[in-house]
Amino acid sequence: MRGAAKWFFEFFSPDHFQGTSITSVLHTGQTKYQSVEVLTTGAFGRCLVLDGKIQSAELDEFIYHEALVHPSMLAHARPRRVFIAGGGEGATAREVLKHKTVEQVVMADIDGEVVELCRRYLQDRHGGAFEDRRLELHIEDARAVLERVSGAFDVIVLDLPDPIEAGPASLLYTEGFYALVREKLGAGGVMVTQSGPCNITNLREVFSPIHNTLKRVFPLVAPYHAVVPAFGGSWGFNLASLGRDPRAFSKATVDRALASRGGIATRFYDGESHAGMFSLPRYLRDGLAQETRVITEDSPIFLY
């Protein structure tokens, strides 16, 4: 390789990888749950890497986090109480807290070491969210916290690590867990989950079975995508609603809602982007329509 002594490679399959030069290693280690690295890279800037996969990159984290959070927050008429599963770097909380309607955010991440590393090295990600009085942080399994806390949530955001074998989050992509999420939503409640890559090479790996599993639990499931270069291309999300369908929102409706929630500042998401995210190419629509798998604890799925 030209021009760099060290490289980071992320493999998406035995035949496909993406690489970037490493300019500095800020941290490398192993927590109780996963390997963790904080790297400064030539292509993507400072990155959080868990179990060999980039979770957040300085260059484009705003695309992922705005895409994950704002469609679900706008799908609820007035979200006051929000639950976040995962999201250790604090960027998901950062975006949720931009909505002036929010009174409480309950966030649960199982890996306290990762949270502390993010607070130390990735201040640009959380933007002070950990100091916001509305945030209640639990260093604990997200399922246990969700089962224990009382009261309903308006929006539940699942910002979990990818479901990899022996990873800490694989059982939080199952029909049983999604049923718990539905039970914890209030009237008109909305949930969203990151759903892995949805390129033509790998859309059937986790994106389509997550979508099919959610359809067993929720009356309305709206799949969407956004291009996140650090993740290797098109990234999938699935939004499930007990109320409004975000696909019915016009561009003007989205822009007005962002303004009315406190003039939410974004770099990626607006009415124009919203329309594009929910407009899926035919190969994605076909892949979702052909999917028959349902994810359970006895039949989990794993990303390569």
Measured CA angle at 253 (ends 71, 58), to 5 deg: 40
Closest CA to 96 of 108, 112, 117, 80: 80
Q: Count CA atoms closer than 13 A to 245's CA, side-chain side.
A: 9
In whole angstroms, give the CA distance from residue 199 to residue 204. 9
Question: Nearest 5°: phi and psi at 10?
Answer: -115, 120
In whole angstroms, give the CA distance from residue 68 to residue 91. 10
Please give the single-letter amino acid code of residue 154: D
- Number of other CB atoms surrounding residue 19 within 10 Å: 15
In whole angstroms, give the CA distance from residue 100 to residue 260. 9
Q: Return the exposure string of 80-118: e unless at least 16 CB atoms fall within 10 Å of the residue's CB, then b.
A: ebbbbbbbbbbbbbbbbbbbebbeebbbbbbbbbbbebb
Which residues form the catalytic set? 159
* Torsion sign across C-alpha atoms 81, 50, 55, 133: positive
